[in-house]
Amino acid sequence: MLFPLVERLARFMAILGGLVLTALIALTCVSVLGRGLNTFGHSAFLTSMSESAANALIATGVGPVFGDFELVEAGISFTIFAFLPICQLRKAHATVDIFASHFPRGLNRFLSTLWEVLLSAVILLITWRLFVGMEDKMRYAETTFILQFPIWWSYALSFGAAAIASVVAVYCAGASVVELISGRKLIDDMEGGVH
């Protein structure tokens, strides 16, 4: 059926998002360490201890990564959308069911399907708006302040991940509707695991 393909696609995006997130964490750590060493090299403490050591540290060029926050900003937007497909497929979104636990089972299934369809519509809307935003950034050739890379690049990455999230969301919404009508389970939630 279609499920194995959708699951592989969602897993691929989650792995890709994890790799990008790991790279962003490493970038941030290197930048913070560089900033700290640069500050230490300019500190009165190190200068008073050994001016030559302070000058040597500063001469290495150690400092924050140039444009680090621009790279993190662009990368984090991608990772959010990259993790969305697996979260959607596993029904792992945060839910509040204070009252739902007291509802009849049929009503809970209906509400779950309704929210799945509405969330899919929201993901489709966000994907469309990302595309419109990307076109807008391309048209005006906007660039980032420090690194001067085109802003539309980050929009394009996020749009690509959001488009895949939309495919998974539509599949999940359709499967939820079929499950509600037929009573047959097509997608297990994260507690049950997918076989």
pLDDT tens, the chain, 195 aa long: 788 899 999 999 999 999 999 999 999 999 999 999 999 988 999 888 899 888 888 889 888 999 999 999 999 999 999 999 999 998 887 777 777 778 888 888 898 899 999 999 999 999 999 999 999 999 999 999 999 999 999 999 999 999 999 999 999 999 999 988 987 777 765 544 443
Q: What angle do CA 169, 109, 2 make, to 5 degrees?
A: 35
Q: What angle do CA 120, 192, 181 make, to 5 degrees?
A: 50
Q: What angle do CA 130, 136, 142 make, to 5 degrees?
A: 110
pLDDT at residue 193, rounded to an integer: 44
Q: Say how many C-beta atoms besides its own lie within 10 A of residue 99's C-beta.
A: 7
pLDDT at residue 100, rounded to an integer: 76
pLDDT at residue 151, rounded to an integer: 95
Spatial distance between the Cα atoms of 190 and 151, rounded to a whole number of angstroms: 36
**Nearest residue to 165 (alpha-carbon basis) of 55, 74, 107, 89:** 89
pLDDT at residue 108, rounded to an integer: 83
pLDDT at residue 24, rounded to an integer: 97
pLDDT at residue 91, rounded to an integer: 83
Q: Which ranges in the chain belong to alpha helices (H)?
A: 3-41, 44-49, 51-59, 68-89, 105-140, 151-182
